[in-house]
């Protein structure tokens, strides 16, 4: 799943990213603790992938098995901010069902 997810990000292939999400997908936002469903996450991913200013750098898989994967990356956002992001993803039947992130601001 990590390879599929990162290849879609590298190719800015939003349809493939959304295709990785289960219908009952839940994302817990690190900024607020609020939850997003698949539809809301799809909208956010479409915005990110449409912007050349959103760039994922230094991505690496820290752990992966058939149930979870954990990745770390540095992301530059359209507003000029950068964050080091640790992402935990729970998998079921080859799809992502749950995602949580932790982030630390880094200097641009």
Following DSSP, what letter does each residue of 26-84 receive, concatenated?
EEE-TTT--EEEHHHHHHHHHHHHH-TT-EEEEEEEEEE-SSEEEEEEEEE-TTS-EEE
**What confidence score (pLDDT) does residue 29 get?**
86
- Tokens 């979870």 correspond to 68
Written as tens digits, the pLDDT of the chain (108 aa) is 999 999 999 999 999 999 999 999 999 987 788 999 999 999 999 999 999 999 999 899 999 999 999 999 999 998 999 999 999 999 999 999 999 999 999 986
CA distances from 45 to 38, 66, 82, 106 (A): 10, 24, 17, 22
Q: Which residues pair with 42 in a beta bridge?
A: none
Tell me which fold the domain 2-106 belongs to: Nuclear Transport Factor 2; Chain: A, (3.10.450)
**What confidence score (pLDDT) does residue 91 get?**
98
Domain boundaries, the chain: 2-106
């Amino acid at each position: 799943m990590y390879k599929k997810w990162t290849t879609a990000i590298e190719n800015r292939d939003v349809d493939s990213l959304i295709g990785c999400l289960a219908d009952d997908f839940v994302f817990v936002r690190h900024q607020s603790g609020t939850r997003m469903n698949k539809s809301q996450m799809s909208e956010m991913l479409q915005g990110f992938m449409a912007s050349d200013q959103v760039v994922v750098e230094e991505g690496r898989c820290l752990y992966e098995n058939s149930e979870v994967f954990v990745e770390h990356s540095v992301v530059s956002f359209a507003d000029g901010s950068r964050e080091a992001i640790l992402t935990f993803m729970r998998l079921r039947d080859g799809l992502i069902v749950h995602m949580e992130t932790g982030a630390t601001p880094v200097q641009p």
